Chains A and B, each alone.
Chain A
């Protein structure tokens, strides 16, 4: 089945370490997104990419960077992790804009803990 995968699924790290979260998809979608989710704060968009050469900041991009290595791969990096980046991180994909059909499909998530 066409799918969205994320690695690692769980990660515990220390303050100041560099961390990379990876996302791969076999859906053939052009658009990819990174969200974080915190209790009571819902899903917040970190970065999004509409194709390999198009990368955009979301609402909470400070402290994060991304790389779109290929249509199917989108990585999120925390250059110097801090405890308030402890959260559940989701990658999502969607097809190119098709009128009202803009549903996003989510990967299984990465639970990141920064000590």
Chain B
């Protein structure tokens, strides 16, 4: 079992819909969680991070964390074709000496 798991997709949603991206993690010592967006051939770009249970909103993006169930999700409201990218989930746990553990990413396709 991988420490951080994501469905590779592709996840296809119509323009204007809500895209829901999910990530599960195996280590209960995980402390903080990061969502990166990566366009094809480009570098990962940090979108949001969350470390408290519940929701955190930033514009059209909402990160949700449920530590009891060990999952974190990213919701994208009013999806746009420009949101089409691969979304990487990354997890930090103090016992891992400062390194992030990355999932393999979910590819999102937003169709006009």
Contacts and interface: CB of A to CB of B under 8 A. Distances in A.
A48 B43 contact: no
Given A43-B88, A48-B99, A100 B32 contact: yes
Contacts of B32: 100-102
A100 to B, nearest CB: 4
Interface in A83-109: 88, 90, 94, 97, 99-109
B45 interface: yes
Contacts of A99: 31
Interface residues of B, number: 23
Interface string B87-109: 01010101000111011110000
B16 interface: no
Interface string A63-101: 000000000000000000000000010100010010111
Tell which of A41, A45, A97, A106 has the most Cβ of chain B within 10 Å.
A106
A108 B105 CA distance: 18
B44 A42 contact: no
B34 A103 contact: yes
Contacts of B100: 102, 104
A43 B94 CA distance: 20
Contact of A100 (B41, B92, B105): B92
B104 A42 contact: yes
13 contacts: A31-B98, A40-B8, A41-B104, A43-B88, A94-B98, A100-B32, A103-B34, A103-B46, A103-B49, A104-B100, A106-B44, A108-B43, A109-B43
B25 interface: no
A102 B104 contact: no
Given A42-B104, A102-B32, A90 B43 contact: yes
A88 B43 CA distance: 9
B81 to A, nearest CB: 23
